[in-house]
Amino acid sequence: MSHQHIIITGGAGFIGSTLAERLLMQGHRVTAIDNFDDFYEEQLKRENIAPLLERSTFRLIRADIRDYDALLAELTDHYDAIVHLAAKAGVRPSIKNPLVYQQVNVNGTQNLLEVAKVKDIKQFVFGSSSSVYGINPDVPWREDNYVLQPISPYASSKVSGELLGHVYSHLYGIRFLALRFFTVYGPRQRPDLAINKFVRFILEGKEIPVFGDGTTRRDYTYVGDIVKGIEAALRYEDSLYEIVNLGNHNTVSLSELIATIEKVLDKKALINRLPMQPGDVPQTFADIDKARRLFGYQPDTSLEAGITNFVNWYSTKLYVNG
């Protein structure tokens, strides 16, 4: 891929800032859009992108993807691709406030597709989610399983984004690649997510909240592997519309996850058992044959290695801020 100018929405967030850093290192220009949503502390996002702001090839736009006019007013350059990662995140919060999830995740995605249409940006990579599969016992989950029955407003909004992408791909020749991410973790992970929360609470000697009996399973995927998948999607030049799982093809129980964190920290967890939460699915498990075939995607970070990297990052942050 020759040097390009790439828009990343949600560019100050966990995956967005990690991707931006990689693309800048490879000589690309990056324009990051972020509204610094108050879902978690703005300071954490500021820390994610602080080193990037020193680069002349990086630009940060503070804007809300719901504001189409603001997006067009700010995006005055020529761009080769959009990686759309901005979203209201989280299954459980979406049940409490479904309307805002619709506005940000569906209307916001439509606004970005309109930007692509108006500015003739022909490559659009969309951050979708494994949650679109709902409770589907037919594992591992394949992209050609069309009977999607999402069980949360968040999951439903991601299905809507995939379908909108098909409309714009069909009508305007925009190559739209929906990447269904499976439980991404690693350095910079959001503080509300399990691995970040578990590490923090275990180090502080607090009880960790465990929903259910520990048998729920997730296909944990390291952020470095996800970013390599996004990069491959940016290089992809064949069909105009694809939905592709980006997972680890390895499903881990909650009990196994906790045991791995205990091993890396060399400290036992205190557990507070709670009932299963509405909107949570009992397991996620990615079939990644399509990603291998189209992108040459090959995740290679083990859970223990990934958690070790996260703990090292978290410890450095504690040292710097503490």
Amino acid 46 reads: R
CB 299 within 8 A of CB 247: yes
Residue among 169, 137, 134 at smallest CA distance from 243:
169
Residue among 164, 165, 159, 156 at smallest CA distance from 143:
159
Q: Is 154 a catalytic residue?
A: yes
CB 93 within 8 A of CB 157: no
Kindly compute the dihedral angle of the four CA atoms of residues 262, 268, 272, 273, in this order, to the nearest 10 degrees: 60
159 in helix, strand or coil? Answer: helix
Q: Which of 79, 101, 133, 154 is catalytic?
A: 154
Q: What DSSP assignment string belongs to 116-129?
A: HHHTT--EEEEEEE
Nearest-5° angle of CA 102, CA 134, CA 244?
A: 85
Give me 144's structure tokens. Answer: 């050609």
Q: 301: which strand partners?
A: none
Residue among 208, 217, 194, 160 at smallest CA distance from 92:
194
How far apart are the C-alpha atoms of 260 and 304, rounded to whole Å? 6
How far apart are the C-alpha atoms of 99 and 94, rounded to whole Å? 8
State CA 146 to chain mean position distance: 22
CB 18 within 8 A of CB 44: no
CA dist 12 → 35, 49, 60, 72 (Å): 9, 6, 8, 20
How far apart are the C-alpha atoms of 254 and 248, rounded to whole Å? 16
What residues act catalytically? 154
